[in-house]
A and B are shown apart, each in its own frame.
Chain A
């Protein structure tokens, strides 16, 4: 098996099993070098200067937009809008689409497994516009059934927001089915691809999604850069979200006309190093190829599913259907709080997240407060899984004589 750890300086420098890529991935040397190279060779403010340095910076910035459009197979490059992260992309949609298009008694449908970023903005839209926020719930296999989708998306539904892969359960949602059904009912669909795009090929035209968002930092790029994809005809009709420089055409004392796409949605000096880093991350991913990434992850995650299933003191929150499960595994040691487990794992050099994972409604639905979460990427190995299992055994052994039945 290829070992990609050598491309990641932090994994070489620190003796850890990093199992928190669902929170943020580590960065390969290629991405780090690209950012360094940008600052050493062509840093200037894009779209501003008439001098060649600024023009080169503009080219690098805009070429990355084209690269991303190709990467997700968008029809037009101006359908790619840069943002701070998936959260900002979703807020842009809530304000520039939701607030302006929803009326009283319209319905917004999201799933119970949404991250707070694809949930709290819609609460705000619902409260402001008088529309209703409805939820699609999961079945006992931690999946959304076709029946649930078809019951909750109705003729009144105007917006459907759905995560492609759950950041807690790892469930891969049938977004194609949701998109097709929502379109039949006259609703537009927003896909949160934050947890899917690091692991699987996204084709926005094949999906026929209206909008799609993701964060760069969960796919090897720097923190602070995100993407909003939107169909051109929809983005053209929307008003800007943030006002300021570079998103305007003519500014008068009392009125302004706005720049065309994509600049209309990119006010102020942008995160150019983030964009350059994202471009390098895409090159890196394409160089390995999603097939290879999938092959490696499948081997490691299948192994993790098997090994964790052998621990009878563990509750696992994942679908039994392997094909509907990505690279996230949530679990609890029965009777032991996940923070304690995470601290003990930390003492073994195993980095997992513990808490509610920005998904409090899902936790409440599952009847729990929090979980531990191990999330994998192609740089993880079976040895990382072995370390996790070893740490879990250690945690259980430390606690077992104190664990009482009723807990």
Chain B
């Protein structure tokens, strides 16, 4: 299987073209816009947090199959996780794409997001896969209380 057909597999195609995570949340606690100015991809992530646990997350916007699928799969992976766990998973995802992870077992926590492991074989598309993860990272950092929790209304 070549890099291309490996990347454009059923999981990624389904998530990119018909994602159930692509919607607006009723009452989001946080919202963050992420974009890649060079290619025009733009997503808005919405996050609902309860007791430091990601209760719900959704996205709107537009972009290529890789960026859309990566966003949707990230949401599936992180829903129900604590902010602290989410930060760790984001970190692992970014390291996986930079090929900085040697222990394959570490990747298990990424669940379906492991599908992007070989995106580095398509260097032009790395930033597409990272868009949502960087956006969420920014959102968490911006609103963090410095103690691993996120400032919130709940």
Contacts and interface: CB of A to CB of B under 8 A. Distances in A.
A354 B41 CA distance: 12
Interface stretch (B70-78, B84-92, B102-110, B121-129): B121-129
B111 to A, nearest CB: 22
B26 to A, nearest CB: 22
B4 A403 contact: no
A355 B122 contact: no
A354 B124 CA distance: 11
A339 B13 contact: no
A369 B39 CA distance: 9
Contact of B39 (A336, A344, A354): A354
A335 B68 CA distance: 13
B27 interface: no
Given A337-B64, A339-B125, A354-B39, A344 B13 contact: no
A343 B40 contact: no
B17 A339 contact: no
Given A339-B64, A339-B66, A340-B8, A404 B17 contact: yes
A338 B66 CA distance: 12
B115 to A, nearest CB: 15
Given A347-B2, A398-B8, A399-B13, A339 B18 contact: no
Contact of B64 (A340, A347, A403): A340
B63 interface: yes
Contacts of A403: 17
Given A347-B2, A369-B42, 9 more contacts: A339-B63, A340-B65, A343-B124, A355-B39, A363-B40, A369-B40, A369-B62, A370-B39, A399-B17
Contacts of A360: 40
Which of B13, B40, B63 is the most central at the interface, judged by chain A CB atoms within 10 Å of its CB? Answer: B40
Interface string A311-349: 000000000000000000000000111111011101100
Contact of B65 (A337, A354, A370): A337
A407 interface: yes
B125 A343 contact: yes
Interface in B50-71: 62-66, 68
Contacts of B124: 342-343, 346
15 contacts: A337-B64, A337-B68, A339-B41, A339-B64, A339-B66, A339-B125, A339-B128, A340-B8, A343-B124, A346-B124, A347-B3, A347-B4, A356-B40, A369-B40, A369-B42
Interface in B111-150: 122, 124-125, 128
Contacts of B14: 402
Given A355-B40, A363-B40, A404 B18 contact: yes
B4 A344 contact: yes
Contacts of B65: 336-337, 340, 399
A351 B41 CA distance: 20
Contacts of A343: 4, 122, 124-125
Contacts of B18: 402, 404
B129 to A, nearest CB: 11
A402 B17 contact: yes
A360 B39 CA distance: 11
Given A337-B64, A340-B66, A402 B13 contact: yes
Contacts of A398: 5, 8
A333 to B, nearest CB: 12
A363 to B, nearest CB: 7
A344 B63 CA distance: 16
Nearest to A348: B4
Contacts of A336: 65
Contacts of A399: 13, 17, 65
Given A340-B66, A344-B4, A355 B38 contact: yes
Contacts of B4: 343-344, 347
